């Protein structure tokens, strides 16, 4: 109630400017305390205008659901022209406001108007399936936003491009040449190298608090407190850099296997870009306001993109020169060069006339697109999974026991072990359900008017499947807020133990969102699953994990402005394998 009153008065201030709002209140005090006729007239005028706007507001809402069509989904009444942008601007973070509205309305689907765009958040799997399975073709576009324009160099790459020829071209090239099962097998060694480096790096972070032992093998064996967030984010960055550019480091790196300043800057910039792609920026709904950069997003975005390009562009330009020479493919004739990584694959892709299929801008945009896509989900899921498991040692114990029985302790987990690591995969799957990287799936935009779940969905609507609303939905999940991997295992005579059915991280029925489904579904589900399971399995196999000394529990609070752990996970790691297994990679 208080929030609403505050919002109304701030709205007044926003819609009329502070002076006008002050005038309204001066007028009010004038009436109360017997002031001039002028202020009374001003107040009356203001009040009439306010009521006129309210009237217009409900007319605006009606206008969008034609008489013959079913109604729009429920939602707040929009103001003329701006829709619910004022509320969006006032109530931060926007996603919590939207989810709160849905709760207030007790709605599975809602409609919020921003400018003249209808935002359609969805909470329930049946309706989600109607959008992405039954009517998938209708909802296969993406919105144009300031953030995605920068990230994709003007919509040249797949993930954020609107439906159309460019999206089809890039998706075809990537599906047939880049992220194929054969390519994944081809790049297995590079992924293994990074998984080995991960445990070498964490091993080197272990350092006993006993200063006499500092830096020795004995100190490492005694264990130490590790910044898990840095380790998991850098692992994801390393894997995709290695697959894309055939290198872990842009600079010298760090001798302990950890990131150098360049990799820290790179990964931070990637996360910044990702956070601003669909960040409810006011100008995405009222492009005429873009020059004002009201949220300040554009300035931040430009800086982050400059950093990403600073690292990617010289490598790509250099490689294109090597492959194509002065307009010629220098490797095509006598010295037939074989691609060494995914960048080579993108550059060497040919059309039916044998000409390069992708321009340099397309290669740059698509390279960045794949790097953005790979870096955030695996690291976030594993950081949360480990935090939850440390607080529930029984789950941790079961997962480690599974690894010990399938892999043993004389060698490290390999991708070929995954089919038999069902409990570990159930832990990762549970992390995707309960702790998604983002509140909503990537937006899907409708290409035509339609009816879904009995509601009118106008052409151009932005459909937002709520990852929280689905994954934590009490009508779908028993004890939805509890981290309970057993829920993903096939029950064998009532016992929660893995049976023959293999656990997978995909969830095509949309009871939660991991890789989503349909025409715009994730292209990297196999790679994303492999990265996530390897990351979690290696952490569990390589170290025993505990709460840091002096604490009783890991603090599982979720950040207010996003869905990351509010405090980056720091935990006590103690090596549990023969020492030589931690030192088998080199610094390259």
Binding site for ligand HEM (CB under 6 A): 158-159, 171, 179, 370, 373-374, 377-378, 441-442, 513-516, 520-524, 527-528, 532
Nearer to ligand HEM, 390 or 437 (CB): 437
Nearer to ligand HEM, 24 or 431 (CB): 431
**How do 570-575 and 117-122 pair as beta strands?**
unpaired
Are the CB atoms for 446 and 458 separated by under 8 Å?
Answer: yes
174 Cβ partners below 8 Å, 6+ apart? 158, 366, 370, 523
- Taking alpha carbons only, the member of 83, 171, 540 closest to residue 373 is 171
The CB-of-490 to ligand HEM minimum distance in angstroms stands at 22
Eight-state DSSP code of residue 134: I
The CB-of-401 to ligand HEM minimum distance in angstroms stands at 25
Q: Please state the length of the chain.
A: 588
- Specify the DSSP element, H or E, that contains 390: helix 360-391
Q: Which residue is nearest to ligand HEM (CB)?
A: 524
Distance CA 369, CA 156 (A): 10
The CB-of-187 to ligand HEM minimum distance in angstroms stands at 11
Are the CB atoms for 97 and 464 separated by under 8 Å?
Answer: no
The CB-of-97 to ligand HEM minimum distance in angstroms stands at 22
The CB-of-377 to ligand HEM minimum distance in angstroms stands at 4
The CB-of-560 to ligand HEM minimum distance in angstroms stands at 23
Nearer to ligand HEM, 377 or 461 (CB): 377
- If you search the block for the tokens 């330009």, which residue do you land on? 317
**How do 462-465 and 117-122 pair as beta strands?**
parallel
Distance CA 488, CA 131 (A): 25
The CB-of-430 to ligand HEM minimum distance in angstroms stands at 14
Are the CB atoms for 286 and 85 separated by under 8 Å?
Answer: yes
The CB-of-541 to ligand HEM minimum distance in angstroms stands at 20
Q: In degrees rounded to 5, what are phi and psi of residue 71?
A: -70, 160
Are the CB atoms for 390 and 396 separated by under 8 Å?
Answer: yes
The CB-of-447 to ligand HEM minimum distance in angstroms stands at 14
DSSP for 149-188 reads: HHHTTTT-SSTTPPSSHHHHHHHHHIIIIIS-HHHHHHTH
Nearer to ligand HEM, 117 or 385 (CB): 385
Distance CA 212, CA 214 (A): 6
Q: How far is CA 233 from CA 7, 217, 229, 245, in A?
A: 38, 26, 6, 18
- Specify the DSSP element, H or E, that contains 222: helix 217-222
Distance CA 363, CA 156 (A): 9
Distance CA 483, CA 467 (A): 16
- Specify the DSSP element, H or E, that contains 27: helix 2-32
DSSP for 529-557 reads: HHHHHHHHHHHHHHEEEEPPTT-SS---P
The CB-of-432 to ligand HEM minimum distance in angstroms stands at 6
Q: In degrees rounded to 5, what are phi and psi of residue 276?
A: -110, 5
The CB-of-252 to ligand HEM minimum distance in angstroms stands at 26
Distance CA 388, CA 390 (A): 6
Q: In degrees rounded to 5, what are phi and psi of residue 577?
A: -120, 165
Establish whether 281 is an annotated binding residue.
no
Are the CB atoms for 508 and 403 separated by under 8 Å?
Answer: no
Nearer to ligand HEM, 276 or 373 (CB): 373
Nearer to ligand HEM, 158 or 427 (CB): 158
Nearer to ligand HEM, 205 or 238 (CB): 238
Q: Which residues are annotated as a binding site?
A: 522
Q: Which residues are annotated as a binding site for heme?
A: 522
């Amino acid at each position: 109630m208080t929030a609403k009153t505050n919002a109304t008065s701030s709205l007044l201030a926003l819609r009329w400017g502070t002076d006008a709002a002050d005038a309204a209140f001066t007028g009010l005090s004038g009436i109360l305390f017997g002031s001039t006729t002028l202020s009374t007239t001003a107040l009356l005028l203001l009040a009439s205008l306010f009521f006129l706007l309210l009237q217009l507001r409900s007319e605006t809402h009606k206008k969008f659901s034609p008489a013959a069509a079913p109604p729009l989904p429920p939602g707040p009444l929009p103001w003329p022209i701006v829709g619910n942008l004022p509320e969006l601007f006032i109530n931060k973070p926007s996603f919590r406001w939207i989810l709160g509205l849905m709760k207030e309305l007790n709605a599975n689907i809602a409609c919020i108007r921003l400018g003249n765009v209808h935002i359609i958040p969805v909470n329930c799997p049946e309706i989600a399936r109607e959008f992405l399975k039954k009517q998938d073709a209708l909802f296969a576009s993406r919105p144009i936003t300031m953030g995605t324009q920068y990230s994709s160099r003007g919509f040249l790459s797949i993930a954020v491009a609107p439906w159309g020829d460019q999206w089809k071209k890039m998706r075809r090239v990537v599906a047939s040449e880049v992220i194929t099962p054969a390519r994944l097998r081809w790049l297995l060694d590079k992924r293994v190298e990074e998984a080995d480096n991960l445990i070498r790096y964490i091993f080197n972070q272990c350092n006993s608090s006993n200063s006499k032992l500092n830096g020795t093998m004995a100190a490492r064996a005694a264990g130490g407190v590790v910044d898990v967030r840095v380790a998991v984010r850098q692992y994801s960055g390393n894997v995709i850099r290695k697959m894309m550019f055939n290198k872990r480091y842009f600079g010298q790196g760090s001798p302990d296997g950890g990131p150098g300043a360049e990799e820290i800057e790179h990964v931070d910039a990637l996360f910044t870009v990702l956070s601003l792609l669909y960040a409810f920026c006011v100008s995405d709904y009222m492009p005429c306001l873009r020059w004002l950069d009201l949220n300040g997003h554009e300035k931040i975005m430009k800086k982050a993109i400059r950093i990403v390009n600073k690292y990617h562009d010289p490598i790509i330009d250099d490689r294109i020169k090597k492959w194509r020479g002065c307009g010629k493919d220098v490797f095509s004739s006598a010295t037939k060069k074989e691609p060494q990584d995914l960048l080579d694959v993108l550059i060497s892709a040919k059309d039916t006339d044998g000409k390069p299929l992708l321009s340099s801008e397309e290669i740059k945009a698509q390279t960045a697109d794949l790097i953005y896509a790979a870096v955030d989900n695996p690291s976030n899921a594993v950081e949360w999974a480990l935090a939850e498991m440390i607080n529930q040692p029984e789950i941790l114990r079961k997962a480690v026991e599974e690894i010990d029985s399938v892999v043993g302790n004389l060698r490290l987990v390999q991708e070929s072990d995954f089919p038999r690591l069902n409990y570990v995969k159930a832990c990762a799957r549970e992390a995707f359900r309960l702790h998604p990287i983002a509140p909503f799936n990537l937006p899907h935009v409708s290409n035509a008017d339609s009816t879904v779940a009995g509601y009118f969905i106008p052409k151009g609507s932005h459909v937002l499947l709520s990852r929280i609303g689905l994954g934590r939905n009490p009508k779908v999940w028993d004890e939805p807020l509890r981290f309970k991997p057993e829920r993903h295992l096939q029950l064998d005579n009532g016992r929660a133990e893995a049976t023959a059915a293999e656990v997978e991280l995909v969830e095509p029925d949309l009871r939660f969102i991991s890789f989503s489904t349909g025409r715009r579904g994730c292209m990297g589900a196999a790679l994303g699953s492999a990265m996530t399971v390897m990351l979690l399995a290696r952490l569990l196999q390589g170290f025993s994990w505990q709460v840091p000394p002096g604490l009783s529990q890991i603090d599982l609070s979720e950040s207010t402005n996003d869905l990351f752990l509010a405090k980056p996970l720091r935990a006590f790691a103690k090596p549990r394998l023969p020492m030589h297994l931690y030192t088998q990679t080199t610094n390259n």
